[in-house]
Amino acid sequence: MRIFTGNAHPKLGNAICNHLSIDPGRCEVGHFADGESKVRILDDVRGLDVFIVQSTCPPVNEALMELLVMVDALRRASAKRITAVVPYFGYARQDRKHEGRVPITAKLTANLITAAGVDRIVCVDLHAAQIQGFFDIPLDHLYGSPVIKSYLKDKEYEDAVVVSPDVGSMKMAHGYAKALGYGLAVVEKRRLTDMDVEAGYVIGDLKNKDVVLVDDMISTAGSMASAIAIARDNGAKSVTVCATHGLFVGPAYDRLLQAKPDEIVVTDTVPLPPAPEGLNVTVLSVAKLLAEAIMRIHHNKSLSLLFV
């Protein structure tokens, strides 16, 4: 077995290797003078079970192309099986035609990864679970929630309620509420543009509660910032924000500084841009979860116990 990592998130790749007590596979991943991706695998991989850890996170096109080129190199070097470990799967929000003459880029991305020669794929918290069906190869869909839930378990909230910042994350919020024994509420949100949302009202009682907002990702933080404001307006005692993927792009940190959550909890599926002073950000690692998944895939063992 060999585990390689591209440039998207080498820290996570190395942490996974640490958990498995193996050295990362040696490769050169860079650019030609004109910017094209340049890859050279330095280890012999003939007949081996190979894993590539590469989140397709911002800059998404760069990370995706690097992944495709690495797969091609490994395929041509006669790897027996190639598994793409993509903790954050970019383009996932373009998963349907919501208006005329727009692409379904999540499907295109799945096609590209498969055509490059990937045999199976591992993802964490796909934006929409149906994206699994965009792949005609086995896909293992893991969740960041076991990692976040075990962190929340140690909190001494007096009266906590899990709040979904929109209807789409309701199922995830329900899972947290059930596992932790918290109440459940939802914010009604409308998306105006890719950068802006408008949060309307809240269904549920937040007065004097410790509010735990959960979502799959924080991108520009429009959704979370407006949900925090609504929680405060409805009398929340404290507001903790949890998300598996902390992208924090564009105005995200400014919006969160203004919204002032008590704590932001994310995992390390993507590398975090340095947080400004004034934001209390906790980063939990999914390295152990992914290491266990890789080991189980390698030994053809079930992954179900990783889902709780």
Catalytic residues: 189
Other beta carbons within 10 angstroms of residue 307's beta carbon come to 11
- Reduced to 3 states (helix: H, G, I; strand: E, B; else coil), residue 101 is coil
Closest approach, Cβ 287 to ligand R5P, in A, equals 24
Smallest gap from residue 223 Cβ to ligand R5P (A) = 3
C-beta closer to ligand R5P: residue 42 or 195: 195
Nearer to ligand R5P, 210 or 216 (CB): 216
In contact, 153 and 180? CB cutoff 8 Å: yes
41 or 252: whose CB is closer to ligand R5P? 252
Query: Nearer Cβ to ligand R5P, position 166 or 292?
Result: 166
Binding mask 220-259 for ligand R5P (x = CB under 6 A): xxxxx-----------------------------------
Reading the block at residue 54, the tokens are: 């590469």
* Minimum distance of ligand R5P from residue 252's CB (angstroms): 7
Give CA–CA dist 96/88, Å, rounded.
19
Query: For ligand R5P, how many residues bind (rule: CB under 6 A)?
Result: 16
**CA triplet 182, 124, 245: central angle to 5 degrees?**
70
Provide the minimum distance between the beta carbon of 207 and ligand R5P in the complex, in angstroms, as a whole number.
24
Whole-angstrom CA distances from 244 to 115, 207, 273, 305 are 28, 26, 15, 19
66 lines the binding site for ligand R5P (CB under 6 A) = no
What track of x and - describes contact with ligand R5P for positions 152 through 191 (by CB under 6 A)?
A: -------------xx-xx----------------------
CB 228 within 8 A of CB 263: no
E strand or H helix at 60: helix 60-76
Minimum Å gap between C-beta 244 and ligand R5P is 10
Beta-ladder partners of 38: 30
The H or E element that residue 61 is part of is helix 60-76
Please give the residues from 83 up to 112 whose contact with ligand R5P meets the rule CB under 6 A. Answer: 93
Whole-number Cα distances in Å, 141 to 17, 131, 276, 306: 20, 10, 32, 10
**By rule CB under 6 A, what string of x and - marks binding of each residue 205-224 to ligand R5P?**
----------xxxxxxxxxx
Q: Are 226 and 199 in contact (CB under 8 A)?
A: yes
Nearer to ligand R5P (CB atom), residue 235 or residue 273: 273
Which residues form the interface with ligand R5P (CB under 6 A)?
A: 93, 165-166, 168-169, 197, 215-224
